[in-house]
Amino acid sequence: MTIRIALLSLGLTFAIGSNVSAAPVFAPLPEMTSVLPIEPARSALRKFFDTLGDDDVHDDHYDWNDYRDATSRKDRIRDWQRMQNDAQKDYWRQQKDMQKRAIKAQRGW
């Protein structure tokens, strides 16, 4: 226990450098508190749990209620149909690219 305290005080002395004062070693220093990045623990845990199984990746930057209140039903249906068409095009493009890669691999290109 005393070795740990001695090592911590020695490390803190080296970290502070020329700003050594008459205050005890473990007294809070205003110069050091502003340098430390402070992030709430819940945000780090939220990001961790989101990656485990959350399929909705757009939650951080998309608000359904704002979109619903700002657009008409007709516009939302049009947007949904566009997204479906884009997804279908992406699917067929991926299928075509996969076929091309398979043919190239088969021919040894």
Digit-coded pLDDT (tens) for 19-42: 555 555 566 655 655 556 666 556
Q: How far apart are CA 34 and CA 29, in angstroms?
A: 9
In 3D space, the residue among 42, 15, 43 whose CA is nearest the CA of residue 29 turns out to be 15
Greater confidence (52 vs 34) lies with: 52
pLDDT mean over 39-51: 62
Q: How far apart are CA 15 and CA 31, in angstroms?
A: 11
Q: What pLDDT, on the 0 to 100 scale, is given for residue 103?
A: 95
Is there a contact between 22 and 9 (Cβ–Cβ < 8 Å)?
Answer: no
What's the Cα-to-Cα distance from 19 to each of 14, 36, 51, 55, rounded to whole Å?
A: 10, 17, 43, 50
pLDDT in tens, 61-91: 667 788 888 889 999 999 999 999 999 999 9
What global pTM score does this model have? 0.39
